[in-house]
Structure 1
């Protein structure tokens, strides 16, 4: 089972080359605490398009949309707890939820939890959890009926993890740079 559907939606827009048509804070997001790590880093490295960190709950997403306007792009981050995993049907529901809370025809991006270099295992997601979430994101992007974009995998390197799962300050900056490269 996924943490909650509310944590998985994250508004994101098109790539950096299209940034002039993407106003500041026009991309929302929902994910788990790892999505918060990305948002923290994104703001820290000067990213403007995506919302800043906000807690990632469903009602909080709607509050962000009220403040910034319905997002024209949403980033859905798939997150799991090790004991429950995730199914493709759950991912499809997350995508549908993202569409319900975004502007009509919003671009939906989807990714998994960050992958870890150097054999690190996130104790929350379990030994193969990040890889499962990444695989599900790629499956959704390959399914034309979902109409989503897989921007790539977020990567945390050795020395960028604080507790075995979450990014430290250097990791947040690294994730923020990756997000900036993905969607400007």
Structure 2
């Protein structure tokens, strides 16, 4: 009978161990309350002077630095909030201006039905010629006039080159 009780104790011990093992596995599968850093709330990225921390629940970004006295994290300004606030302000101003414009008396009594002429009112029309008249022709310069102009330009160019050479010699002589 002693064997029967010791084997039943052994069986109950094994059963208890198996039950504890099963229950331990189930409890490990259940969600546990772990610290925020372990369940993925914060995402950390190293930077040159510390760490950039993103709170995945709120979206707040912070810069964390070790300043000798310990680590300190400072929230970065949220530009999106500022942009949204500015967009809201501009939309409100726009609505207010539209209301003011609608409240004004119309300056033009009605719509103009006729289209404006497409001609330029400042452009003077060309004078019409009578049947016997000829158009005024401007004569082209003669070959002699062209030669005189070319010789003038050549002389001016040579003088400019000579002046540049003299300035260059003066500057190089002083150095």
User: TM above 0.5, one fold?
Assistant: no
Range class of TM-score, shorter chain: under 0.3
Task: Provide the TM-score with structure 2 as the length reference.
Answer: 0.13
